[in-house]
Amino acid sequence: MLDMGRPSFVLGEIKRIMIADESLNLGFSHNKRCPYCKGKGKFLFEYSSKSYGRCSECDLIFRLGPYSYQNVIETYENGYFDTYSIDQLGGSRQGIHTHILGVLKKSIVPGKLLDVGAGCGDFLHLAKTDGWEVAGLDPSSESVAAGKDRYGIEILHGTLKDISEEKKFDAITFINVLDHTAEPWAEVEAAMRLLVPDGILYLRFPNGLMHANMLRTAQAFGIGHSIYRFLVFHQFSMTPRFIQNILKTKGFIHIRTACSLPSIGDLHRLLQRQFAASAVKYAAYLTGLCIEKASFNKIFLSPSLEVTALKHPITVPGRSVFK
């Protein structure tokens, strides 16, 4: 008889479930080459009238269908601020921002920080008060203007392609940004060039593997639409294996993946409309955190992940991400 009470059995079952079952792809003919490694991508799920596939080689989850760098930029230049500025201006991410600064300070003395996709500058404002020399960039001109009006912070209207490689930063952050970009791997490579030799890269993004399996499980029971508000899928959806491999490929070391705190919204929205959703997010985070610890940092089931990585070995005392 199977001893289902044993932690090893439970963790083994969780890991088995989280590995894509090829048999679930039967009956679908949607196939496309992975935009990153050109490996074979197989249809994975439908979400909000969009089809997504998963690469069998690098593990990237990506939206099936044509897209271009210019189309992605235009999406965030035109209308993104009107739809999502409440997330930037409502204080819903203050807890996350404070946590991120804590992560950075464990690794490096405050210096020059670049926030990619800075939005309205909330994180940069908090970082500046914490002793950082801040810089930001965002493709939305309205977000850039809001950041200047609200905080007096100069945010460059553009992308990493507009930053001179002569400029160097001690830390570069992508907070809920990398999965929005046209080529996440190119963004990581550009960040590598802009970091000082002992610089740190911080990434936060939705856990693609977690969201994909939640959706597929719900769809199997005919309740897929009922959990849409808990799910996040953009042009790309990163899995732990994909992001770890791409960072290694681009030359980063000491890569550390962990469950990330959820955003719970400002107090008014939390009490009036989002208490249940926030409670679910926190419960999922705490569950994922327990599984992460029990699996010795090998299984990540929280809705969002955070990853830190270093450009080169740290030899200066007190600068390790593992402090």
Q: Rounded to an integer, what distance in angstroms lies between the CA atom of residue 293 and that of residue 56?
A: 27
Structure tokens at 262: 């959820």
pLDDT of residue 26: 31
Residue by residue, DSSP assigns 105-150 as HHHS-S-EEEEET-TTSHHHHHHHHTT-EEEEEES-HHHHHHHHHH
pLDDT of residue 293: 83
Candidate ranges 161-170, 266-275, 313-322; pick with highest mean pLDDT? 161-170
Structure tokens at 285: 């985070």
How do residues 224-248 score in pLDDT, each as one tens digit? 888 888 898 988 999 999 999 999 9
How do residues 284-300 score in pLDDT, each as one tens digit? 778 877 888 888 888 88
pLDDT of residue 254: 93
| Mean pLDDT, residues 155-168 | 91
Phi and psi at residue 63, in whole multiples of 5°? -75, 130
Fold assignment, 87-206+239-310: Rossmann fold (3.40.50)
Q: Rounded to an integer, what distance in angstroms lies between the CA atom of residue 74 and that of residue 68?
A: 10
Cβ neighbours of residue 94 closer than 8 Å, sequence gap 6 or more? 122, 126
The per-residue b/e assignment along 189-225, b for 16 or more CB within 10 angstroms, e otherwise, is ebbbebbeebbbbbbbbbbbbbbbbbbeebeeeeebe
pLDDT of residue 18: 45
Q: Could you state, in order of their start, the residue ranges of all structural domains in the chain?
A: 87-206+239-310
Mean pLDDT of the chain: 81
Strands (E), 34-110: 40-47, 50-55, 61-63
How do residues 28-59 score in pLDDT, each as one tens digit? 345 588 999 999 888 999 998 899 999 999 99
Could you tell me where the DSSP H helices lie in 172-223? 184-194, 208-220
Q: Rounded to an integer, what distance in angstroms lies between the CA atom of residue 300 and that of residue 131?
A: 32
